[in-house]
Structure 1
């Protein structure tokens, strides 16, 4: 049981040739049983700092534990709460978390889906017979789980779901360049470097450009130009119109250029930030209309059930969406894969 938080990881780092410290996951197992790594959060409840990256890596390890989080469920939401709580308790033995349990479970769910996606790509997508795929059990995987999962991947039901996911990904207009870092961590690092608060427009720019400062894609470049032009327009108006609230300009600009926020997520903020949490009582003006929201929810639920497994999440951004997709809503019967 964690009784003392380590506010610094300086004793658990090695230094590479360029003098940069790097924390190793294996060092977590060397901690005194009463010690754990403290993970801080930002104002939106997202983990930040070097400890956040360590937590991210550990979530990936837990997500691959077949005994704790079996892969032979159609979606993350089908996995029993008892399994998820067991995983959460394991994480809390090594981390003192300021972020919510709900955030951790959602992040763990994405890691679980990414793990299934990797297994599918490496083992199921091979040009071999179904019988060979069933026999080719990955290292560390339980045979009965693997056989259940392979049979589901080979089913008509799965093919239909994958088409939904493929269609959704084809609509993505640009990808971000944050890599394994969350948008929250990118924003924090930029704020420390510049000494200034990073807004949504600036965060979009620095997470969608190459090392040479050029836009990641032509589509991203077009969006950057539109956002820049719209910002200039509002700043000019603000010079003569005192009713223009400079603090809300960025939100209005993003909505005018890209439309309402989608799927209950806030663009350019990453996972875990809800519309109400970010916009407060004025969140309704940034939401889609009732019919549009209903259509998006239906599409998102289908994608959550199956589409996310066919490619790793987190590297894409649909019209400037979050850097991490939340997903996995499945059938109400809670059945395993069939």
Structure 2
């Protein structure tokens, strides 16, 4: 089933039951993922390199129309598709740090852990959890090395942060996020949404220098250190977003930040 056809067929049936835009995004991504996995399973089951294209087409799965199966076989046997599959296979082989979440999505596991612990589980904690074996050891030496760097960075912070941020320990150690996904948060997470609560909370602070002086005189050293860290993160975030948005902060995001920083 083609992407456009899938969305046109399924969306009206399901979207009427869902009002939240994030849930809609997650649902479509989940459907897409399951459909890709199903296509791979079909091809692995019915493809035989010893058979001709005609014979493969004639061996049509029971629940698939002949014309759709013929188009699918034609697509899979194209040189461009073969090259793409080979390239993706090579990329997967370069992924040297496997996670241990298994078939359960990271988003689902994070939700379960949050309910179990009674507080939100940060993406830093999720990365650590999903790269450990049952016995508590890391999946390999590379994962252990990264975990030690994350721990070293976290130990230098005045206050342990549970706020997801592009400048948290995970972001500092592993670098910039992929535009369409975020480490430790699972399917459906995007930069402008996952880090929104952090920036919205920060934008409500008055960061003028005059108020800085007042804050310094009324806050303890730990609170002041945390405030300084938050301000540094805000400034870095203001610089980071334009790099992903063509040099400008989108109008819909501008309201999150104090005007003197934009």
Fold in common (TM above 0.5): yes
TM-score by length of 2: 0.67
- Counterpart for residue 34 of structure 2: 111
- Counterpart for residue 25 of structure 2: 102
Q: Is the 8 A contact 2:110 2:126 kept in 1?
A: yes
Change (3 A) 1:288 1:136: farther
Give the number of the structure whose residues are more often helix, by fraction: 2
Change (3 A) 1:87 1:264: closer
Instruction: Note if 1:149 corresponds to 2:72.
Output: yes
For residues 113 and 182 of structure 2, the distance between their equivalents in structure 1, rounded to whole angstroms, comes to 19
Structure 2 counterpart of 1:176, from 90, 96, 99: 99
- Counterpart for residue 302 of structure 1: none
Change (3 A) 1:247 1:155: closer
Structure 2 counterpart of 1:225, from 148, 154, 158: 148
Instruction: Note if 1:267 corresponds to 2:183.
Output: yes
- Counterpart for residue 140 of structure 1: 63
Give the number of the structure whose residues are more often strand, by fraction: 1
Superposition deviation, residue 150 in structure 1:
0.8
Per-residue CA distance 1:19-77 (angstroms, 9 max, x = gap): xxxxxxxxxxxxxxxxxxxxxxxxxxxxxxxxxxxxxxxxxxxxxxxxxxx2xx4xx3x
Change (3 A) 1:170 1:160: same
- Counterpart for residue 335 of structure 1: none
Superposition deviation, residue 90 in structure 1:
3.5
Q: Is the 8 A contact 1:231 1:249 kept in 2?
A: no
For residues 288 and 171 of structure 1, the distance between their equivalents in structure 2, rounded to whole angstroms, comes to 30
Instruction: Note if 1:185 corresponds to 2:101.
Output: no
Q: Where does the alignment leave 5 or more consecutive residues of structure 2 unmatched?
A: 200-233, 247-262
For residues 249 and 147 of structure 1, the distance between their equivalents in structure 2, rounded to whole angstroms, comes to 47
Change (3 A) 1:106 1:278: same
Change (3 A) 1:248 1:129: closer
Per-residue CA distance 1:272-331 (angstroms, 9 max, x = gap): 1111112235555556956xx9xxxxxxxxxxxxxxxxxxxxxxxxxxxxxxxxxxxxxx
- The residue matched to 1:266 in structure 2 has which SS? coil
- The residue matched to 1:174 in structure 2 has which SS? coil
Q: Is the 8 A contact 2:123 2:164 kept in 1?
A: no
Q: Where does the alignment leave 5 or more consecutive residues of structure 1 unmatched?
A: 1-69, 294-338
Superposition deviation, residue 251 in structure 1:
3.5
Q: After TM superposition, list the pairs within 5 Å mapping 1:180-219 onto structure 2.
A: 180-219=103-142
Q: How many aligned positions are there?
A: 207
TM-score by length of 1: 0.53
For residues 217 and 246 of structure 1, the distance between their equivalents in structure 2, rounded to whole angstroms, comes to 26
For residues 191 and 168 of structure 2, the distance between their equivalents in structure 1, rounded to whole angstroms, comes to 14
For residues 148 and 108 of structure 2, the distance between their equivalents in structure 1, rounded to whole angstroms, comes to 25
For residues 95 and 67 of structure 2, the distance between their equivalents in structure 1, rounded to whole angstroms, comes to 36
Q: Is the 8 A contact 1:191 1:198 kept in 2?
A: yes
For residues 182 and 117 of structure 1, the distance between their equivalents in structure 2, rounded to whole angstroms, comes to 19
Per-residue CA distance 1:223-267 (angstroms, 9 max, x = gap): 2122112211x23xx28xxxx988578833222211111133221
Change (3 A) 1:209 1:250: farther
Which has the higher relative contact order, 1 or 2, with Cα contacts under 8 A spaced 6 or more apart? 1
For residues 246 and 102 of structure 1, the distance between their equivalents in structure 2, rounded to whole angstroms, comes to 25
For residues 227 and 174 of structure 1, the distance between their equivalents in structure 2, rounded to whole angstroms, comes to 15
- Counterpart for residue 253 of structure 1: 169
Superposition deviation, residue 140 in structure 1:
0.3
- Counterpart for residue 211 of structure 2: none
Q: Is the 8 A contact 1:174 1:216 kept in 2?
A: yes
